[in-house]
A and B are shown apart, each in its own frame.
Chain A
Amino acid sequence: MNVFLSGVGLILAAGIGAALIRGARARAGDAVYQILLIVGCITAGAAASRVLAFGAPVSLTIHGAMPGGGWVLGIDSLSAVFLLVILGVGGACAVFGTQDLAGERAQGRRATWFTQLSFATLLAAIALVVAARTIVVFLGAWEVMAISSYVLIVAHHEEENVRRSGLIYLVATHTATLSLFAMFATWDSGAASWSFDALAAASPSLGSGATIAVLLLALVGFGFKAGFVPLHFWLPPAHAAAPSHVSALMSGIVIKTGIYGLLRVLLLLGGAPAWWGWLVLGLGVSSGVLGVLWALAQHDVKRLLAYHSVENIGIILMGIGVGALGVSYRVPAIAMLGFAGALLHSMNHALFKSLLFLGAGAVYRATGTRNMEELGGLARRMPLTWLGFVIGAAAIIGVPPFNGFVSEWLVYQALFSAGQTSEVSRLAILGIPALALISGLALACFAKVAGVVFLGTARTADASDATEVGRGSYLPALALAAACVTLGTMPTLGIGLVTAAARELAGVGDIGLPVSVLSGAWSISLLALSTLALSALLWLARRALGRRWATRREPTWGCAYDAPTPRMQYTSSSFAAPLLSIFGPLSGVRVERTATAMHTHASDVVLDGAALPLWRRVHLAALRLRGMQQGRLHLYLLYVMAALLVLLAYLAFGSRL
């Protein structure tokens, strides 16, 4: 545990180092920052791996006059799984961020050290959220995480758009925190102390009403952070506004703390009733389908990726939902499959989503635009960024031999096993077509984004002049891509990492995953390797055939039209148009057609259709109360008197009512 804390300390020290060594010595500061941060990540990660390797949870209690009783920190298998991803992805994002910020410094922005400090603080806070074992430490770290995220989102506060996104984020995150306060307050009324152990001990004596309240408040509080529909509306603007490495960390990691929170609550409560499982499964399906549909409509690469996070959180929730159903219907195999799928998908999504964001960030740094309609042909200009991005795209659409496939495969099996039961839980099998639709639409969406941004010919001069940003930009992305391929071709690795945590969540003691899953994982390796070998053979065969004739290079066949321009290429709008038109108003797209042009405008159905109108209503209602505020002292004294009288009356007569 001390190892872990010193790792977190090193991460914080990295931020402070960057803050101290700045200005003219910024390059030295960058080096100190990167070295300290990576060493910190490795140190803290070593502590987490130890827990996974030996299966023995560790904890540390800081006694003394701490607010809210002794502070307890701990790492069990659930925390360890999340810590490994947080630290791995965090390190990669920090390296990318250093390169990215150096680019900003070259353009004359001074306060890059502040972004680095906030980033290190954010990373340390996330690690502490996952390790916290008392309410005070948890909520404290949670708030530091929320605030440092806000500071990072508004890094470019000179743009009005960014300030607005930051404000929406701030409202959403504090609504979430409020809900968590209410949840812990409901829960700890019967507990001996504010430690999580005491909460777990108090759970059996929690009344049914209080349990329902805790579960729903957890769903709202952690749901805002995780960003499932309809609580996702803060996420796309915030992730688009933040610096790219921050978007990568937020989309890959920060939203996973919401998932972690839900799982921790489940673990402390010892399972949830069936209705909660159904609710989560339903939220997962709607979040998955709507997330990918809305992603299709986007033109901004980073907004598009953010909506895909909404989709993937949906897939994770489907796993959690069916896992919870397995627990409540007492079918351990389903619970194991569901939770293992959810945990592995959290891990996989962190890897490929941050990879994709780093790719999008490199494109933004190289071209200065995030609008897909102004890009194109970057595969030639930025080959290594493209390689990372296309691997990330193949991983996110869930095809073998990449990691996204493995976790979706587990979730499919969980849903199918639920269909084999004889109780009402067999209806969960209807999640299978939903998941299939999500994968199908995700494939369409990533064919669009990879094709329009990187392939074809450049649509603007910015895109045709782009070059690789630098080693710090593509090396972290390629490292993440390597992780995606490794976990995809060797599924037993990833499954092995999450088994212990899934076992605890499923409450099954020593029973692991069904043997068929483990042998299936090996078969996937076999299938992946033989497909690769077959591809290599085909490549050689084609080369042998090609010896006879030299390969010729000609312009693209334009169906007998020989003066094509880049503007004639299929655009992102037109690529997505058939799918979006099928879903009609649900897609939130407004189409403008003139005689020779089509424009599509994507709006967020929840933010523009519900959240903002609701806020305006609240604002109008609040204006009515303005009359009370006259600024005169005697009026306020009168209010105080009136309030006291009401309280007195309540004390006197309240008990008799």
Chain B
Amino acid sequence: MTDSPTGVSFAALLLLLIAAPIIPGIVSRTKAILTGRKGSPFWQLYADLWKLAQRGIVRSTTTTWIFQLAPIVLLATTVAAAALVPLDGRSSTVRFAGDAVAFAGLLGLGRFALSLAALDTGSSFEGMGASREVTFAGLAEPGLFIAFATLGVIAHDFSLSAMLGRPTGYVGVSAAAGPSLVMVALSVFALSLAECSRVPVDDPSTHLELTMIHEIMVLDHSGPDLAMILYAGSLKLGVFSAILMNVLVAASGEGKWTFSGAAAIALVASFVGMGVAIGIVESIIARLRLPKVPLYLAGGSALALFGLILVLR
């Protein structure tokens, strides 16, 4: 962790901000190809964001300032959380001891604001969505922290840059940590599906309000507000794909990248990989029944826990 904040980590953050909206597009492309449909192009979200940014806003008469503030808080905290992740594979824009806690805390603040906005509308549907969102996110939290703790024990440092990045002087992880890293990667993938509201926890393409979770929370947002929420969602996907990519690279025993182009290629490749992976998952399995979701989350957390026990041994 000797790298000072370089232009490279900042450039990687910019790349995330620009390229992340392709992930939902790749998911739907993958699903379209696998199910033999024509489907929308992979840049669909860019078009949607552009369209929404041009639109006017319709706000519910029951809402207050918290409803207007929520999309902004969500987007700002997601960007701030992304700044804590070593997107270029070396170190992050902002890093400090225990920044993993801040990462989870910032995502939590965004979720809290969005849930309050949902309750602000006074709609029973949106209240239901908020209730489910905070329930499942709350249950996913321990698993995420077990994964962070495992990575931290391997890296001897509780900072995302040390856990995930490979800074100058990086010597690679011991071979004994390999199995743990694989388990953590699987667990992070499972939990990120919950964090990013994808199948099997939530189905973003469902058409029945009663079965929605995240989508229904944002029913009343429109125009630029909705654009910010959709954009923040794609950023979250991008952040989790970068985390996953770095865990996998560490597990494969790769050393540090010598030129920044490799980092950029790896980051974009992780977006494509995550999009394809989610697309495949969404094509082959259906959303779980709500009472089964806690079991899924507990299973995902248990995987990371095995990883932690292996490195503590």
Contacts and interface: CB of A to CB of B under 8 A. Distances in A.
Nearest to B216: A559
B122 interface: yes
Contact of B121 (A456, A517, A553): A456
Interface string B217-244: 0011001110010000000000000000
A400 B106 contact: yes
Contacts of A542: 72, 224-225, 228
Interface stretch (B31-39, B149-157, B165-173, B248-256): B149-157
A447 interface: yes
A539 interface: yes
B55 A455 contact: no
Interface in B54-112: 54-64, 66, 72-73, 75-77, 79-80, 83-84, 94-99, 101-102, 104-106, 108-109, 111-112
B41 interface: no
B76 A538 contact: yes
B115 A451 contact: yes
A451 B99 contact: no
B56 A551 contact: yes
Given A399-B108, A420-B153, A451 B56 contact: no
Given A451-B130, A545-B53, A377 B106 contact: no
Contacts of A457: 62, 122
A397 B76 CA distance: 18
B138 interface: yes
A400 B105 contact: yes
B79 A534 contact: yes
Contact of A399 (B105, B119, B135): B105
A409 B98 contact: yes
Contacts of A209: none
A574 B127 CA distance: 9
Interface residues of A, number: 87
A297 to B, nearest CB: 14
B123 interface: yes
Nearest to B141: A440
Interface in A436-481: 436-437, 439-441, 443-444, 446-448, 450-452, 455-457
Given A408-B101, A409-B102, A570-B119, A443 B73 contact: no
Interface in A388-405: 390, 393-394, 397-400, 405
Contacts of B66: 379, 390, 455
A523 B97 CA distance: 9
Interface residues of B, number: 85
A176 to B, nearest CB: 33
A139 interface: no
B139 A397 contact: no
B182 to A, nearest CB: 20
Interface in A557-585: 557-559, 564, 566, 568-570, 574-579, 581-582
B288 interface: no
Contact of B96 (A376, A524, A555): A524
B112 A447 contact: yes
Contacts of B126: 556, 570
B138 A441 contact: yes
Contacts of A441: 138
Interface stretch (A92-100, A195-203, A426-434, A502-510): A426-434
Given A394-B109, A426-B312, A434-B142, A553 B120 contact: no
B2 interface: no
Interface stretch (A19-27, A61-69, A411-419): A411-419
Given A443-B108, A556-B61, A413 B97 contact: yes
A397 B123 contact: no
B56 A450 contact: no
Contact of B122 (A429, A439, A448, A569): A569
A321 to B, nearest CB: 17
Nearest to B57: A551
A161 interface: no
A619 interface: no
A549 interface: yes
Interface string A521-538: 001101100111011001
A394 B112 CA distance: 8
Contact of B106 (A437, A455, A531): A531
Contacts of B60: 553-557
Contacts of A581: 291
Contacts of B130: 447, 451, 570, 575
B179 interface: no
Interface of A: 376-377, 379-380, 390, 393-394, 397-400, 405, 408-409, 412-413, 416-417, 419-420, 426-427, 429, 432-437, 439-441, 443-444, 446-448, 450-452, 455-457, 514, 516-517, 519-520, 523-524, 526-527, 530-532, 534-535, 538-539, 542, 545-546, 548-559, 564, 566, 568-570, 574-579, 581-582
Q: When A and B form their complex, which 7 residue pairs have the shortest distance between CB atoms, in order from nearest? A: A570-B127, A549-B56, A451-B119, A440-B138, A456-B122, A440-B141, A520-B96
20 contacts: A397-B112, A405-B105, A412-B101, A413-B101, A432-B145, A433-B305, A440-B134, A443-B138, A451-B115, A456-B121, A526-B94, A527-B80, A527-B102, A534-B76, A534-B80, A549-B56, A551-B59, A554-B60, A557-B60, A558-B125
